[in-house]
Amino acid sequence: MDTMTTERISDTLAAFGISPENSGVFIGGMALPGTGINLHSHSPVDGLAIGSVRSCSENEFDRVVEGAISAFETWRTWPAPKRGDVVRQVGEALRLHKKDLGKLVSYEMGKSYQEGLGEVQEMIDICDFAVGLSRQLHGLTMHSERPDHRMYEQWHPLGIVGVISAFNFPVAVWSWNAMLAWVCGNVTIWKPSEKTPLCSLACQHIVTEVFSRNGVPDGVSCIVNGGREVGEMLASDHRIPLVSATGSTRMGKAVGAMVGGRLGRALLELGGNNAIIVSANADLDMALRASLFGAVGTCGQRCTSTRRLIVHESVYGAFREKLVKAYGQLRIGDPLDESNHVGPLIDQEAVALYDRALEAAGQQGGRLAVPGGRLKGRGYESGCYVRPAIVEATPEMMIVQEETFAPILYLMKYSGHVHEAIAIQNGVRQGLSSAVMTTDLREAERFLSGVGSDCGIANVNIGTSGAEIGGAFGGEKDTGGGRESGSDAWKNYMRRQTNTINFGTELPLAQGIKFDI
């Protein structure tokens, strides 16, 4: 396996104006010096340094917020369809840069090139969705109880939307928020993951080119790279009415408390501990394909990754055999080599968490059906490559209750009715994605009913991983309750206003109250 070198992506970096050293703070196309600490980006693919960004200081953060406020004053006056046309052009630019941006995502984050391309396609899709949405920001009309009165509601932009994104989807989740926020008339300040800062520079480069052609105010799109301290600046600033944060439950609780403490809004997309139920009536070949990608895609670093398989005892042995055989055929290595299925974990800290989870599983009574372990040798010099593992487990094991951001799959069995499997699935603190594999209509409908899955996403005969942008994305319980992307998620980025108009000559009061002088 050939070792990745930075020379292989030098043209990609140049296409986005990325140098070995860069500012990580932008108000539109204007780069601020970046007087905070240096953030160095090392690829988990080969461990080599790609580049660095200078992070945001407190003074620069204040300049960014003021720039965003100024831009909002103008941007919110643009007609929504005009804002939508700008977003349409962003989508067209992403189409032109799809291969380069997908390659950068793959190299900086470590996911397969196909998944990198898929992430950019998500960005394109949300642009298309937002363009149509720009002509459909509908309110309601209500009948008034008072004569000669009309009531209706309308939606107005909030102002600044702060976006805190995670490393596993270094560009797509930002776009889910930004494209909807922009067509709604808001401006955005994005704090990317400190583990994937260069992807944010590429996105800002693309957006700036489009915005400049259209005369969009610079502060509509801002970036503040940095660590936890920059996230705290976003969460605590009363000038930012909405903070959308994607990441761990621990991080989300901290952000939620800080934003809630100033009575701001928090849109939280947090951890998942997702399960697939494999019924006695499942198509096992279909269940295998769904489980395999769900468990090992992005090296198990998706919030929707499949972490638990709950299999009926009557098919447990046959399905276990299929699964173990499939794991034996996985190819692990350079994610830009499209013959490989699995790339690296994001960094060696993630590898250490993987090791500890496997150790804990063994101590708690789990049995390895597919041993894991670190991969060493030529092509694995970064120290971030591991083997996907399968642990035969029981639902009450403490480690099964947790989300481990790594390719570890817990295999469990159930007996009797699908009710038992649903109870096992729901018996964790997280509530993001879920699935049942069955050809039985009653089981499928039970799973989707009010006494079925308690997750924000519930699927039948597809896996837990991979959501289309047309549906609202998010989950319940420790997943945070937020909703992004499709359906009516746009309402999160706006404020609702109820209006009553009296077009008569009298002033009747509601509820028939009399107040005569």
Q: Which residues of the chain have pLDDT under 50?
A: 1-5
Other Cβ atoms closer than 10 A to 312: 22
Residue 255 has a pLDDT of: 98
3-state DSSP assignment of residue 34: coil
- Where helices occur in 10-110 by DSSP H, the ranges are 10-15, 58-75, 80-96, 98-109
Q: Which residues contact 465 (CB under 8 A, 6 or more apart)?
A: 274, 293, 294, 297, 302, 304, 305, 306, 433
Residue 466 has a pLDDT of: 82
Please identify which residue in the block is written with the tokens 């994937």.
196
For residue 459, the surrounding DSSP H or E stretch is: strand 457-460
Residue 3 has a pLDDT of: 40
Per-residue pLDDT tens over the stretch 361-388 = 999 999 999 999 999 999 999 999 999 9
Residue 6 has a pLDDT of: 56
Active site residues: 269, 303
Angle, alpha carbons 326-332-336 (nearest 5°): 125
Contact by Cβ (8 Å): 153, 140: yes
Alpha-carbon span 380 to 101, nearest angstrom: 24
Q: Tell me the whole-structure pTM to 2 decimals.
A: 0.96
Contact by Cβ (8 Å): 81, 45: no
Please identify which residue in the block is written with the tokens 């295998």.
288
Phi, psi at 188, each rounded to 5°: -130, 145
Q: Which residues contact 106 (CB under 8 A, 6 or more apart)?
A: 45, 112, 113, 115, 116, 335, 336, 343
Residue 1 has a pLDDT of: 31
Beta strand 476-477 with 430-431 is antiparallel
Which of 162, 202, 175 shows the shortest CA–CA distance to 51? 202
Output the CA–CA distances (angstroms, integers) from residue 392 to 240, 273, 424, in the order listed: 46, 16, 15
Per-residue pLDDT tens over the stretch 39-66 = 999 999 999 999 999 999 999 999 999 9
Alpha-carbon span 126 to 120, nearest angstrom: 10
- SS3 for 274-331 is EEEEECCCCCHHHHHHHHHHHHHHHHHCCCCCEEEEEEEHHHHHHHHHHHHHHHCCCC
